[in-house]
Amino acid sequence: DIQMTQSPSSLSASVGDRVTITCRASQSISSYLNWYQQKPGKAPKLLIYVASSLQSGVPSRFSGSGSGTDFTLTISSLQPEDFATYYCQQSYSTPHTFGQGTKLEIK
Amino acid sequence: EVQLVQSGAEVKKPGESLKISCKGSGYSFTSYWIGWVRQMPGKGLEWMGIIYPGDSDTRYSPSFQGQVTISADKSISTAYLQWSSLKASDTAMYYCARLPSLVSRLRYFDYWGQGTLVTVSS
């Protein structure tokens, strides 16, 4: 299995901050990297696919970059509704493993 | 509107069997993969496996192979996740989700069910 490692595991930030979350794969996954947002008690929601493509309906303050083994999710200006847990997922080969998650909390 | 509607919460005893469901609507059920994702209490997401209802092609994570069975009935647009003998460690929220493709760029879970909470306790 391909292992996905996110950093940091948790992050405190304020409304308006620019935030970056990193995801590293244990081997090259080309650009097959997805990002999801999960709020407490809710199903995950797709934000970004193939590393940098914004899912329909997702605000443009979310962006993704990277290829190979290193990827980032950036939120350009945090909004109150962005405080949640974020997961990366590789879809290069099955099983499509997830990272351990990054909990974004209000400072 | 695409929807995945999962069956309700379950409370079971260790050793019992269970089958939970995920009904798709608003799209061609046989043209998309359906996957299952486990989330244990307070923990992250774990990819369990996927099924293509069109031909029942199924792929499992090695971590879940032999522990669960994924199936689908395309006549009623429903996918299933089942256990033959539950353990306390199976206590978790289980989500189904739609996967457009395994071979194109569209390799992501774009629609999710609401989740089914399975509690296994004696």
* pLDDT tens sequence across A63-107: 999 999 999 999 999 999 999 999 999 999 999 999 999 999 988
- Res B112 pLDDT > 90: yes
| Mean pLDDT computed over every residue of chain B | 97
CA distance A14 to A11: 10
- The pLDDT of B1-30, averaged and rounded, is 98
Q: What band does B105 get if pLDDT is binned at 50, 70 and 90?
A: confident
Q: Are A19 and A12 in contact (CB under 8 A)?
A: no
Comparing alpha-carbon positions, the chain B residue that sits nearest to A85 is B44
> Could you tell me the pLDDT band of residue A50, with boundaries at 50, 70 and 90?
very high
pLDDT at B9 over 90: yes
Given a cut of 90, whether residue B102 has pLDDT beyond it is no
Residue B43: pLDDT over 90: yes
Q: Could you tell me how many CB contacts below 8 A there are between chain A and chain B?
A: 66
What mean pLDDT do residues A12-25 have? 97
**Higher per-residue confidence, B103 vs B37:** B37
Give the separation between CA A58 and CA A45, rounded to whole angstroms.
Answer: 10
Full 3-state SS string of chain B: CCEEEECCCEEECCCCCEEEEEEEECCCHHHCEEEEEEECCCCCEEEEEEEECCCCEEEECCCCECCEEEEEEHHHCEEEEEECCCCHHHCEEEEEEEECCCCCCCCCCCEECCCEEEEECC
pLDDT of residue B104: 87
Question: pLDDT at position A56, please?
Answer: 97
Question: Do the Cβ atoms of A94 and B70 come closer than 8 Å?
Answer: no
Chain A residues touching residue B113 (CB < 8 angstroms) = 43
Contacting residues of A for B47, CB less than 8 Å apart: 89, 95-98
**Looking at residue A107, what is its pLDDT?**
87
SS3 (DSSP) at A73:
strand
* Largest interatomic CA distance in chain A: 37
For residue B15, count other CB atoms closer than 10 A to its CB. Answer: 11
Which residues in chain A are contacts of B60 at CB distance < 8 A?
95
Percent of chain B with pLDDT over 90: 95
Per-residue pLDDT at B119: 98
The answer to whether the Cβ–Cβ distance between A98 and B45 falls below 8 Å is yes
Q: Is pLDDT at A20 greater than 90 in this prediction?
A: yes
DSSP 8-state class, residue A84: S
Residue A88 has a pLDDT of 98
Question: Which residue type, as a one-letter code, is found at position B27?
Answer: Y
Residue B41: which residues within 8 A CB-CB, separation 6 or more? B91, B92
Which residue bears the tokens 């190979």?
A: A68
Among chain B, residues having any CB pair with chain A shorter than 8 Å are 35, 37, 44-47, 49-50, 59-63, 95, 97, 102, 105-110, 112-115
